[in-house]
Chains A and B, each alone.
Chain A
């Protein structure tokens, strides 16, 4: 039982963590919590299944095509649902615009793809039992993503420009950084990360249009637990969430595990409103 909890808990936790990183990546350059993050995860599974199973592409080209299409959807999100409301961030209109786009994506997927879960291909054909690839692929994808992002932010010019925009938007613009282009690039990156979440977890979650809201909710929790904008916090929060959820599934059953998860979430936020790894923000008065 413990092995099952660890295997599936870490797998779904890694998917949640990747969606958390998707939220953070979009938030860092725009200060917007885009509720399309979960839909990008859902599309990762759907496009993966479409390209590999239906269109017959090999795995690597199928993955690259999935990442590219979702990156494009990330850019469209920025243009359609984020840019128009950036001037009135304090009115939180982005909640409405990104939720509307998320619903649009979900319904379009239901109409054009299927309302029933569709199979997702076996990618490598490795492992069995608790060592099956469906359990460890999301964890590997999560590790690769967090290492890649660390490299990007620390050692590349574009990554440093992202950090600069995230730290102080106005100062970065004053220095001549192309803020709009960088924001679009960060949304493309978020689209690819979200797609990777759905693609690597496709064998667990299947290619199903209703995965979007699920990933939106459970992907948001690591962000809140780990601290907004903190990718390392999102990874730790996501993995802990997956393990706790799966342990609750075994101990108290499916319906009550959701109750347990949200109870823990509220308790943690009551104790540390800034998240487990976030620092309290000072506000000048």
Chain B
């Protein structure tokens, strides 16, 4: 049969007529930009367990109004270039309905503007403050604390709970370490504390005695740490012990990294160290998590391995998928406008990691009151004990 222009037109029209019916049953495609391999892959591996668990749970219960959730994962290896390529592919070829990730700020800085141009609904857990700007990026929503929120939590614990007024602020020499230490020192001074010593240390410096001696001589009552370098942190802790100084360390979540346990000279060197943690994933004096997450923990047992990851990564991954699914369920639509619009009106959404609230002018959804300090050496099944002083 010859192919005619009229025939082609009729075929196109027929296909067009079929689109609405197809759209009602097509899966909800969620793009997942995950640094599953390479350096700094640990968080994404944890998030991924939550993502897969949530998708299976939703699909197992019949999906969202009959629609299955389809997770389309691209391993970005922590490389911003690969993240950009994967984002372009998700937007223009895979035609996903929303994107979860990337999960580190370097990649997110590279892709946020691209997603904004495509108006792609995007949720991420990256901490850099500038990644959230509802005027520039109305499509981007954060479901983890920002750097400022971390800083507020550390300062709040130091000044109000530990009742310390003289602090030494130490960062590493990376861009993050320098900017975080500067911001932290400025905020401490603004709140009336005395920053008696501030330093940025090369993470590979083999001996930390000079800086610790200067901090002690300056009269520091607490050491505030802004670094992801576990080697540097472990050396500082060993030096503190060798000096016979019992000053508390307060700061970055890396203080609670399992790597530190292997690098310190003896377990006691890790005492009086308080790392940023989250109320939802911290256990109290009786060893219990908040009821909702205690129940989640029971459900995850045997299905999700928590021994080599953190519960908040898994919980956050579950929340990300649930947030997309709930938006589709509430609006009955997978359009970008519908999903973004739904998120803009969320108030106290009860996720496992936190209670998220967004407005059209504030896309930082994580409540600062849920950012708490944890006893760094108390890790158990990806959860931590609350630092002393919480009621």
Contacts and interface: CB of A to CB of B under 8 A. Distances in A.
B213 A1 contact: yes
A72 B23 CA distance: 62
Nearest to B173: A255
12 contacts: A4-B213, A8-B209, A111-B38, A116-B259, A117-B231, A117-B259, A118-B262, A204-B207, A208-B231, A210-B203, A254-B173, A255-B201
B164 interface: no
A250 B210 contact: yes
B205 interface: yes
A263 interface: no
B209 A115 contact: no
A275 B230 CA distance: 38
A116 B227 CA distance: 13
Contacts of A4: 207, 209-210, 213
B231 A249 contact: no
A160 to B, nearest CB: 37
B262 A119 contact: yes
A210 B173 CA distance: 14
Interface string B214-228: 100000000000000
Contacts of B201: 254-255
A116 to B, nearest CB: 5
B200 interface: yes
Contact of A117 (B39, B200, B230): B230
Contact of B202 (A11, A204, A254): A254
The secondary structure that dominates the A interface is helix
Nearest to B170: A254
A12 B209 CA distance: 14
Nearest to B231: A117
B227 to A, nearest CB: 12
Contacts of A116: 230-231, 257, 259
A281 B213 CA distance: 46
Interface in A236-254: 246, 249-250, 253-254
A133 to B, nearest CB: 13
Contacts of A129: 242
B263 A206 contact: yes
Nearest to A128: B242
A110 interface: yes
Given A110-B39, A115-B39, A206-B263, 5 more contacts: A210-B203, A211-B204, A214-B204, A253-B199, A254-B173
B199 to A, nearest CB: 6
A60 to B, nearest CB: 23
B132 to A, nearest CB: 28
In this complex, which of A4, A11, A119, A205 has the most chain B Cβ atoms within 10 angstroms of its Cβ? A119
Interface string B223-252: 000000111001000000010000000000
Contacts of A1: 213
A121 to B, nearest CB: 11
B231 A254 contact: no
